[in-house]
């Protein structure tokens, strides 16, 4: 067992049968944030899904909020985490104004469990801070700290959806490396496609990430999404040692922007709109994967 495991176990208040893997090992081997207790292999493990893109403005935050909302409506205990630590805006999109955020955890003023707030539906939200530049590039020590803090809370949920920042900073790579599923969001925009490729490349080379799920946003129809997937599948197969799975598509839908303006999610205020119907399909697919996993 790694040296740090005992220490983490005591932090988590768990016995030694809980197989926790050290931060460095997890990053290098890309093992999940938390590993099933060996004594009870049937115990549910939270599904940790990082939503990333490379390029900003492609729809990550909208996707995390809406997929989380629909999944929670299906009966899952959902936590959505804003890991855009310096410029987080998940709270704005959800129309909530949390009193505390992750910066208060770093400063020692609050424990992580104390900053969770209720979001729409039955979701819980872990808010990031905004305008704190020091948090945009966490040191190894800070990452280790936040990892330990996250371990305290994730096991209370069925699904943890992680909204990441744009770019391929160490923060972004870190939060992707700790997730079971890396959901890469792409749009028909050529720069979004090349940035998605760059993100997969760096995660694969630096962290050994071998599998990705591709969610194509802002498309006119399902065929367009398939074409984009096929293209990326071809180039990744040719140049990277990774496999990508098609996760689905979200139609371009102005109701999403209307929702943002009124600080409500499209799935909440326009549940029958084209994008909302797509969110239902993708959320159902995640739900089914989770159900099969626990069976």
Contact residue for ligand ADP among 9, 18, 52, 62 (CB under 6 A): 62
Which residues is 214 bridged to in the sheet? Answer: 184, 246
In the complex with ligand ADP, which residue's Cβ is closer, 244 or 275?
A: 275
Is residue 195 a contact point for ligand ADP (CB under 6 A)?
Answer: no
Question: Does the footprint of ligand ADP cover residue 257 (CB under 6 A)?
Answer: yes
Q: Is 56 in the site for ligand ADP (CB under 6 A)?
A: yes
| Distance, CA of 213 to CA of 244 (rounded, Å) | 5
Binder to ligand ADP among 218, 236, 267, 276 (CB under 6 A)? 218
DSSP sequence for 27-69: HHHT--SS---TT-TTS---EEEEEE-SSSSSSHHHHHHHHHH
Q: Near ligand ADP by CB under 6 A, which window of 50-58, 102-110, 147-155, 280-288?
A: 50-58
Which span sits near ligand ADP by CB under 6 A: 73-81, 113-121, 144-152, 254-262? 254-262
Find which of Mg ion, ligand ADP, none residue 257 binds, CB within 5 to 8 Å per kind: ligand ADP
Tokens standing for 60?
Answer: 């990550």
Tell me the closest approach of the beta carbon of residue 71 to ligand ADP, in angstroms: 17
C-alpha separations of 253 from 8, 62, 191, 218 in Å: 45, 12, 20, 7
Helices 3-12, 140-154: inter-axial angle, 10-degree rounding? 50
The verdict on 60 binding ligand ADP (CB under 6 A) reads yes
User: Which is closer to ligand ADP, CB of 5 or CB of 96?
Assistant: 96
C-beta of 61 vs 72, nearer to ligand ADP = 61
From residue 31 to residue 60, the character string flagging contacts with Mg ion as x (rule: CB under 5 A) and all else as - is -----------------------------x
For ligand ADP, the binding residue among 119, 253, 286, 290 (CB under 6 A) is: 253
Among 32, 46, 54, 59, binds ligand ADP (CB under 6 A): 59
Residue 159 near ligand ADP by CB under 6 A:
no
Tokens 């935050």 map to which residue? 61
Nearer to ligand ADP, 149 or 164 (CB): 164
Q: Which residues bind ligand ADP (CB under 6 A)?
A: 53, 56-62, 217-218, 250, 252-253, 256-257, 260, 275
Q: Which residues bind Mg ion (CB under 5 A)?
A: 60-61
């Amino acid at each position: 067992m790694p040296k740090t495991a005992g220490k983490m176990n005591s932090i988590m208040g768990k016995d030694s049968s809980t197989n926790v893997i050290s931060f460095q090992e997890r990053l290098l081997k890309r093992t999940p944030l938390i590993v099933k207790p060996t004594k009870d292999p049937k115990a549910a493990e939270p599904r940790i899904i990082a939503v990333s893109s490379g390029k900003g403005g492609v729809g990550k935050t909208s996707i995390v909020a809406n997929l989380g909302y629909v999944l929670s409506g299906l009966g899952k205990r959902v936590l959505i985490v804003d890991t855009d630590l310096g410029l987080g805006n998940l709270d704005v999109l959800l129309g909530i104004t949390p009193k505390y955020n992750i910066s208060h955890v770093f400063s020692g003023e609050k424990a992580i469990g104390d900053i969770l707030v209720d979001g729409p539906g039955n979701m819980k939200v872990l808010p990031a801070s905004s305008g704190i530049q020091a948090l945009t590039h966490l040191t190894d020590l800070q990452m280790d700290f936040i990892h330990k803090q996250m371990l305290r809370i994730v096991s209370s949920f069925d699904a943890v959806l992680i909204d990441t920042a744009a770019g391929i900073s160490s923060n972004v790579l870190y939060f992707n490396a700790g997730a079971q599923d890396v959901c890469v969001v792409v749009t028909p925009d050529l720069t979004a496609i090349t940035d998605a490729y760059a993100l997969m490349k760096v995660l694969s080379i630096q962290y050994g990430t071998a599998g990705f799920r591709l969610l194509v946003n802002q498309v006119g129809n399902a065929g367009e999404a398939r074409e984009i997937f096929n293209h990326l599948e071809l180039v990744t197969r040719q140049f990277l040692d990774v496999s990508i799975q098609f996760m689905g598509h979200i139609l371009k839908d102005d109701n999403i922007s209307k929702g943002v303006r009124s600080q409500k999610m499209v799935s909440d205020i326009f549940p029958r709109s084209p994008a909302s119907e797509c969110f239902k399909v993708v959320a159902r697919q995640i739900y089914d994967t989770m159900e099969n996993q626990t069976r």
